[in-house]
Chains A and B, each alone.
Chain A
Amino acid sequence: EIVLTQSPGTLSLSPGERATLSCRASQSISSNYLAWYQQTPGQAPRLLIYEISTRATGIPDRFSGSGSGTDFSLTISRLEPEDFAVYYCQLYGSSSRTFGQGTKLEIK
């Protein structure tokens, strides 16, 4: 089973700064089936990115995804106050539905 490891566990930044969140797979991923979700306290997760780099409907273009093989990242170009949340990467597909353990993005 593929394990996804997210880093850092917590990222402290200020509004307006750039955030880069990492998601590393324990083995190379041959499909493009990697997604990112955002979860704010007390709320359900929201789909941000799928197929590594495709933004979901209604997601602002300050969010972008990239990567291949074992290393993937979510970048938020300029942080807005509503972006401070927990972010999860996920492999999806018939062979794996693993979530990473999450990265908490907090206000510095």
Chain B
Amino acid sequence: SQQGEEDPQALSIQEGENATMNCSYKTSINNLQWYRQNSGRGLVHLILIRSNEREKHSGRLRVTLDTSKKSSSLLITASRAADTASYFCATDAKGYSTLTFGKGTMLLVSP
């Protein structure tokens, strides 16, 4: 079963614009992670935020976590065509890193 739900399902923007994706989940978590997937194959880990953290940055990525609302957001600033991919949030609720993924947001960045 899917724990997280990403919103929107699809997002289309121009290069240079910012992209914001949201994720909601259902149960208490240890941490939340964001992954990127190109062409339906391997997932690339982007960033991990722990349940006691509220915001984290990595390069052009900014992730926020609100455990009271059971939600997270991923912001990609100054987007590039190479950012075109599907983005998934994944939660670790069992304490040994088995991840539960949402359905993903498909991001299209046009030149």
Partners in one complex: no
